[in-house]
Structure 1
Amino acid sequence: MHPMLQRLDDLAAHLATRDDTIAVLGLGSAGAQRGRLDDHSDLDFFVVVEEGAVSRYTTRTDWLTVPCPVVWSFAHERHGRKALYADGVFVEYAVFTVPELRRVPFRGARVVWRRADAPPGLTESDAPVPRPPFDTVEFHLNEALANLYVGLHRELRGEHLSAARFIQGHAVDRVVALLRLGEGEPPYRDVFDASRRVERTYSPRVLPLERMVPGYRGNAAAARVVLDWLSARYPIPAPIGAAIEDLLSS
């Protein structure tokens, strides 16, 4: 067994001895898609507890240290913590009651352990996954063009960081979405983060990320690459295309 999964099993075995725990769910590469797991994975999981027990597991880490000492941890949100074990295993976990769990958007969970009287359906969320307003070629193309336009104005104003987020971040996300629509769902797609595993899915010839994401001072060059990529595949509306070209020549 991979050490990451063994760590989760060890935690679950300990939590199973406590009266206020209901279940442990593995997520991400420790969830239903364990084929994603490798030596660079972190360990994501949920702990499902009785009413009134959430704060015990989010503010205290005595239970977390049972398999191995924890050398660093912090609360990253109200329901969870991130932590680093002495042996290098990095974990991110959240703690919910059953009603709270129903309201959390997640996918691909796996039951590591559940109490005999735990309710069914713990691996399924009733909450929708956040999505863009439209998942169409028209939307992603025009949103990418809008990102380029706004980003280039930020660049010309001297706001290089903001420009990078629009051009090398948001616009490239739309490029990835267009590839997904054109070439089909990639394997192990992360519905919460489109950037995950794109390098394994698309070759540099199809998705030239090195030129689309060159860095802080490369915003104009990145915008040119993204615009050319879009122009080679889709008809660019003339007004916005001309406006972006004007900004690139400024």
Structure 2
Amino acid sequence: MLQRLDELGAELSRRTDAIALIGLGSAGAEHDRLDEHSDLDFFVVVDDGAKARYLEAIDWLAAPCPVAYSFANDRNGRKALYADGIFIEYAIFTVDELARLPFTGGRLVWQRTDAPDGLVDCGPPPAGPPYDTVEFHLNEALTNLYVGLHRELRGERLTASRFIQSFAVDRVISLLNLTAEARHRRDPFEPSRRVEQAYPPEVLPLAEMVPGYEGNLAAARTTFEWLRHRFAVHPVIGDAIRDLLREADAAR
């Protein structure tokens, strides 16, 4: 997969309007994470006026290997599958656009001799949520459980599962990121990435928090008890969640 990036870099080097190729994610600075399940993420930096050509035509992309499938997934780029099974996601930017992008961990695969310095360092750090505090994430998790249980009682099980087993669990992960030491590198853009390597099951019991469509009540009870044993839950919202759990048990 890294060879494919090198091949793309070689193809771009033959084009006068390409400036740089930047590997991202497991193809970036942390390429030791690359394995058989990885995809290939990258940015192509081009001259002003060249972006539309690189977005509309994929001849440069197909130079190392035929492209079996592709589609525009963003106004800046595409997802594609090579005939040999390598899956890629890429975006095309000018230098000025790149400078305004939040990204980390980029690796310069190739650059033109006159490319500006600092291409992989120009992005600002990713912005956190509006209130990245224990109080915010705790109360968001509790109110996610509260809303989710009401929707479960109404019979809206799918949306209930999203509030209970997705939104609330996202806040649990944020709480751990603020209060616990991770044993693995975390993804600054997607907290659920590599969370199993960061926190063992005794710290983050995901199997019980995310049991599936039929398991909203059990999931809500697990997450609520997890929160209650680790943080000071306000008695009003705590009692309201207990009442909903009892009501749901009785309804069953």
Output the TM-score relative to the length of structure 1: 0.95
**Alpha-carbon distance between aligned partners in 2 of 1:5 and 1:183, rounded to the nearest angstrom:** 34
Say yes or no: does 1:154 pair with 2:151.
Answer: yes
Say yes or no: does 1:216 pair with 2:213.
Answer: yes
Q: How far off its partner does 1:144 sit?
A: 0.7
Say yes or no: does 1:25 pair with 2:40.
Answer: no
The residue matched to 2:54 in structure 1 has which SS?
helix
Unaligned runs of 5+ in 2: 248-252
Residue 41 of structure 2 corresponds to: 44
Residue 233 of structure 2 corresponds to: 236
Contact 2:20 2:110 in 1 (8 A): yes
Query: Quick one: which of 224, 228, 246 aligns to 2:243?
Result: 246
**Alpha-carbon distance between aligned partners in 1 of 2:156 and 2:66, rounded to the nearest angstrom:** 44
Residue 107 of structure 2 corresponds to: 110
Q: How far off its partner does 1:65 sit?
A: 0.8
**Alpha-carbon distance between aligned partners in 2 of 1:119 and 1:100, rounded to the nearest angstrom:** 13
Residue 250 of structure 2 corresponds to: none
Pair 153,125 (structure 1): closer, same or farther in 2 beyond 3 Å:
farther
Give the 4+ runs in structure 1 shifted more than 3 A: 125-128
Range with bigger deviation, 113-122 or 185-194: 185-194
Say yes or no: does 1:191 pair with 2:188.
Answer: yes
Q: How far off its partner does 1:214 sit?
A: 0.8
Residue deviations 1:42-73, cap 9 Å, x none? Answer: 00000000111111111211111111111100
Aligned residues with identical type, % of pairs: 63
Q: 1:86-105, aligned counterparts within 5 Å?
A: 86-105=83-102
Residue 65 of structure 1 corresponds to: 62
Letter in 1 for 2:27: A
Unaligned runs of 5+ in 1: none
The residue matched to 1:154 in structure 2 has which SS?
helix
**Alpha-carbon distance between aligned partners in 2 of 1:183 and 1:85, rounded to the nearest angstrom:** 40
**Alpha-carbon distance between aligned partners in 2 of 1:152 and 1:63, rounded to the nearest angstrom:** 51
Range with bigger deviation, 16-25 or 136-145: 136-145
Residue deviations 1:157-203, cap 9 Å, x none? Answer: 22222211111111111111111222235532111100001111211
Residue deviations 1:15-52, cap 9 Å, x none? Answer: 01100000000000011111211110000000000111
Letter in 1 for 2:14: T
Q: How far off its partner does 1:246 sit?
A: 1.1
Query: Quick one: which of 3, 9, 17 aligns to 1:6?
Result: 3
Q: How far off its partner does 1:132 sit?
A: 1.0
Q: Which has the higher helix share?
A: 2
Output the TM-score relative to the length of structure 2: 0.94
